[in-house]
Amino acid sequence: MRSNSLAATFLLTSLTLTALAVASTSQAASFDCDAQNLKLDEKTICDHRALNDADVKMVTTFDLLSGLLAMGSRGTLQDQQTVWLKKRQACNADAACIKAAYDERLKALEETYKRINRPL
């Protein structure tokens, strides 16, 4: 059990570092910061590097999990992501609220990863 936890932590850390290395300042992971019709939460994410980095980590982790899950579970993950996105958007320009939303979502995604059945 402990080695699975260490492996999950290593994998997520590696993905995060890779994603952060390639992220540009005008592009968050899930949307274009130069777009004209950004919502308040998106503008705030673009204006705060830590939130931009959280977006990169979240979308990278989400994409990884989407590829690992069976089709039915993928649909559930997508539904959960849609619900979460509405919650993040409800934060408007409140950076602390947005950070809390990312922290909560990343924790949920990490828990999903831990529950994936893997061969021994």
Give residue 120's pLDDT: 59
Coil/strand/helix, residue 32? strand
* pTM for the model: 0.76
**Low-confidence stretches of the chain (pLDDT beneath 70):** 1-27, 119-120
The identity of residue 62, as a single letter, is: F
Give residue 23's pLDDT: 46
Alpha helices in the chain (DSSP H): 2-22, 40-47, 49-68, 71-90, 95-114
Give residue 70's pLDDT: 86
Phi first, then psi: what are they for 35, rounded to 5°? -65, 150
Give residue 24's pLDDT: 46
Give residue 48's pLDDT: 96
- Burial tier of 59 (Cβ tally within 10 Å: 0-12, 13-18, 19+): middle
Sequence-distant (≥ 6) Cβ neighbours of residue 51 within 8 angstroms: 44, 45, 95, 98, 99, 102
Q: Across-strand partners of 6?
A: none
